[in-house]
Structure 1
Amino acid sequence: MASLTVTGVRPWGGDPADLVLDGDRISDVRPAGSAPVEGERIDGAGLLALPGFVNAHAHVDKSWWGKPWVSYGGVASTEGRIAHERAEREALGIPSVELAETVLREFLRHGTTAARSHVDVDLGLGLRGIEIVRQAAERLGGAVEVEIVAFPQDGVLRRPGVLALLDEAAAAGASRIGGLDPAGIDRDPVGQLDRLFEIAERRGVGLDIHLHDGGELGAFQYELIADRTVRAGLQGKVTVSHGFALGEVPPARQAALLDRIAEAGISLATVAPVRKAPLPWTELSAREVPVGLGTDGIRDLWSPYGDGDILRIAFDFARLHGLRTDEELTAAVELATRRAGSFVGRVRHDLVPGCRADVVLVAAENVPDALLRAPVRALVIAGGRVVARDGKVLV
């Protein structure tokens, strides 16, 4: 028997349907009222139904959310932000299980049921941050499934001992290890990437590399990453996060980079930042390069911005890339949902039988309307259980 049926919803704005959930899976999607309801029933009241949102790039270990306001300080550069965070985080109790749980609860309230979180691994913290994030996720009973990237925020080669910590994290179950501006931070792109790929290949994990370096310097590092991905046989397991350079190089150079990225099976994660060049969105879609959307840090020592709502990030992506038609606006929401499953280890993530029963209901006329208004999430179901209602977390 079905454990839960959500009746009379409109999946992706289509015709009214009943979603039948068995345990943590969707077992059937059928026309509304076409069969008797067995087990528990929730009236969907004609609301728009979307899959749970996927946050493809988060830092849930860094936030001061829930504490008194922390004013922005330090120098506004990558190096400056790193130094400021290292100097101030301990006084704020960052990281902690309580603060990480607060962030995950904000995710859940806004309908995010899966996230890839970069978690700082450095000589001061060791692997403590990873255990903290795992504990925070466990407190919510797995309502938000979290894939962990062991992230060397302070650099790799320039901090002896970090490579050993990344290797240890991979051995201990981190699904990916990270990197950071191989040229701009470590000033040795070949050295950093060779060592990161060696760990990934040996441990059988993926890579997710922050790449802020712009222009030709960033483009050169894209090439290095693509070459090593193919050489190591890691197609489909490597992500470049941020990757601003892709939108900053001339068209011919850009097209060649896109071909190499697609050939290497590299995915991209973006937070759609203001004042940055748009990604070549149409060309990425044509080459079927996976693109995921992320919140990045939320109210942390890098920036006071962020509220945990990935639908607002999809809105920012749409504005940055000049999306206007219904098809384009719907595609932006798809990047935050069904097109993002691979970022959290899911072969398929949608409102179809066999997928994890992650469902978000909103009062919206259609998908573009939901994107532009970002209404309160009327109901959030994660893994087959109701976890939030009318913007309030119930777990």
Structure 2
Amino acid sequence: MTIVKNVRLFPRAPDAPAVDVEITKGRFSGFSPAHDSPAAASVRGAAGSGAEVIDGAGRILLPGLGDVHAHLDSNRMGQTFRPHTADGTLHGYIINDRRNWRQGERSIADQAAYAIARIIASGGTRIRSHAQVDADCGLERFHGVKVALEAHADVLDVQIVAFPQAGIVREKGVRDLLDAALSEGADLVGGLDPLLYDRDPVSHLDTVFALADKHGKGIDVHLHEAGTAGLFSLEEIASRTRTAGMAGQVTVSHAFALDTNPEPEVARILDVLAEAGVSLTTVAPAKGALPQGLIRERRMALGLGEDGQRDYWSPYGDGDLLRRTWQLAFTNGFRLDADIEGCLDIASRGGAQVMAGARPDGSALADDARFGLGVGAPADFVLIDADTVTSAIMDCPRDREVFKAGRLIASGGELIGGPRLS
């Protein structure tokens, strides 16, 4: 048993009494008022019982965060800064990455490991990463990401997406490469703008769903398509999800159409997606904020990712999931604590729901025994010194202690046993 004494639980009120937390076999097993509880008695007798005691020192205990839309094969964090050279179009970004990715100062596996260490040190306990598969790189980038994720499987929940960044139809041989990546352990098959990039939505989505069916794997489609084009693709994805009986196994990333259509149309398509069991992820973009209230009303799983980090697409990003949570609140224009705390819920429990293929059941985070801070949930959490949850997101203190299954895995901005990040 592990006992974390004297902590304040998210999302309780700032003046709520501190608690002692019991952890048994990597899961939360009890929450009791500090200093006046069975846990407190256990703390007093811990020296003789063999229990590990962690002094929370009045810090806030946040649920573990997740990057559920990463591109570990593209980031350049920790490398020499380079000027941005893409032309601003989707195809231009793709070709700019293709032209330059081999010039990185580390191998794909080593650079992915560096990014993973940063994500964990920031509070991350789960990662879903896309890995590019195309006619240029074959499976090289997929293999590098797979090696890095597998090396951290003891401190992370991990998933990898075989991702056709340059399309499926417009490049020869990509279908076979995706097939091979799924055979070699990819957890999901990806897709990209079937209408506006591949210009053949039927063939594109038929291929994605056929490969998922063949391998018994999930799906995660990048959908930058806005306006009515995006609505068309969302309806096609929902229809195929229902037909294939894949509720909970299909994710749409970005889904910019949900920010670029009239609210009645957005509400309608969200009903369609919710009925089909499709989940969503956002990366808190400057344009393309998802309607969190409408999504929450329909109990859809919504997770947060960081996308590329200082890569050939953009100079932005530092791997800090708490800072990305700030960005999610900022790009939505949130000011109320409840709304900002909702962003942290998306960055934590929401991502866990996406990766598990689970729909929210209406539980409060503090009572959620599957993905939250309830008894029975995995003891994945972050201890951070802050006045409130909102102040933690606003200030993003570097000094955080990160725990996976009750075990300390990162402290002071560094992954224990990982590469030096500062």
Give the TM-score taking structure 1 as reference length. 0.94
Counterpart of 1:151 in structure 2 is: 163
Give the structure 2 partner of residue 353 of structure 1.
375
Q: Report how far residue 41 of structure 1 moved.
A: 1.2
Are residue 161 (structure 1) and residue 159 (structure 2) matched? no
Pick from 352, 357, 374 the counterpart of residue 396 of structure 2: 374
Question: How much identity, in percent, do the aligned residues show?
Answer: 39
User: How far does the alpha carbon of each residue in 1:54-90 deviate from its partner, in whole angstroms, 9 at most, with x for none?
Assistant: 1121111111222211211131111001111111111
What is the aligned counterpart of 2:188 among 169, 172, 176? 176
C-alpha contact 2:280 2:354 (8 A) present in aligned 1 = no
**1:8 aligned residue:** 6
Structure 1 letter corresponding to 2:405:
G
Q: CA deviation at 1:95?
A: 5.2
Residue number in structure 2 paired with 1:291:
302
SS of the equivalent of 1:257 reads: helix
CA RMSD of aligned residues (A): 1.8
Q: Distance in 2 between matches of 1:188 and 1:279?
A: 26
Deviations 1:195-248 (A, max 9, x none): 111111222111100011111111111111111111111111111111111111
Do residues 385 (structure 1) and 407 (structure 2) align? yes
Query: Which residue of 2 is the match for residue 113 of structure 1?
Result: 125
Report the Cα offset of residue 42 of structure 1. 1.3
Residue 36 of structure 1 aligns with an amino acid whose one-letter code is S
The structure 1 segments of at least 4 consecutive aligned residues displaced by more than 6 Å after TM superposition are none
What residue is the counterpart of 1:270 in the other structure?
Answer: 282
Conservation of the 8 A alpha-carbon contact between 1:148 and 1:174? yes
- Aligned-pair distance for 1:187? 0.5
**Equivalent-residue separation in structure 2 for 1:18 and 1:137 (angstroms):** 33
- Equivalent-residue separation in structure 1 for 2:150 and 2:181 (angstroms): 19
CA distance in 2, matches of 1:172, 1:135: 12
Unaligned runs of 5+ in 2: 359-369, 418-422
Tell me by how many angstroms 1:165 deviates. 1.6
Length-normalised TM-score, structure 2: 0.88
Instruction: Tell me how far apart the structure 2 counterparts of residues 74 and 346 of structure 1 sit (CA, whole Å).
Output: 35
CA–CA separation in structure 2 for the residues paired with 1:63 and 1:324: 31
1:63·1:94 contact (CA, 8 Å) conserved in 2?
no
Matched, 1:332 2:343: yes
Whichever residue aligns with residue 64 of structure 2, its letter is: G
**Secondary structure of 2:138's aligned partner:** coil
Q: Distance in 1 between matches of 2:380 and 2:390?
A: 20
Map of 1:1-395 to 2, 5 A cutoff?
2=1, 4-12=2-10, 14=12, 15-33=17-35, 34=37, 35-37=41-43, 38=46, 39-92=51-104, 96-140=108-152, 142-274=154-286, 276-345=287-356, 348-395=370-417
* Cα 1:204/1:346, change in 2 over 3 Å: closer
State the AA in 2 paired with 1:287. Answer: R
For the residue of structure 2 that corresponds to 1:351, the secondary structure is coil
Deviates more, 1:145-154 or 1:351-360: 351-360
1:56–1:340 CA contact under 8 A, matched in 2: yes
Q: Quote the Cα distance in structure 2 between the aligned partners of 1:195 and 1:134.
A: 23
Matches of 1:346 and 1:250, distance apart in 2: 28
Amino acid at match of 2:128: R
User: Gapped runs of 5+ residues in structure 1?
Assistant: none
Q: Does structure 2 conserve the Cα–Cα contact (< 8 Å) formed by 1:116 and 1:146?
A: yes
- Whether contact under 8 Å (1:100, 1:132) holds in the other structure is yes
Deviates more, 1:378-387 or 1:27-36: 27-36
Q: CA offsets per residue over residues 236-289 of structure 1, 9 Å max, x none?
A: 111111111111112222222111111111111111111x14322221111112
Change in Cα spacing, 1:195 to 1:134, as seen in structure 2 (3 Å) is: closer
The alpha-carbon distance between structure 1 residues 277 and 114, as it changes in their structure 2 partners (threshold 3 A), is closer
Task: Return the alpha-carbon distance in structure 1 between the equivalents of residues 70 and 320 of structure 2.
Answer: 11
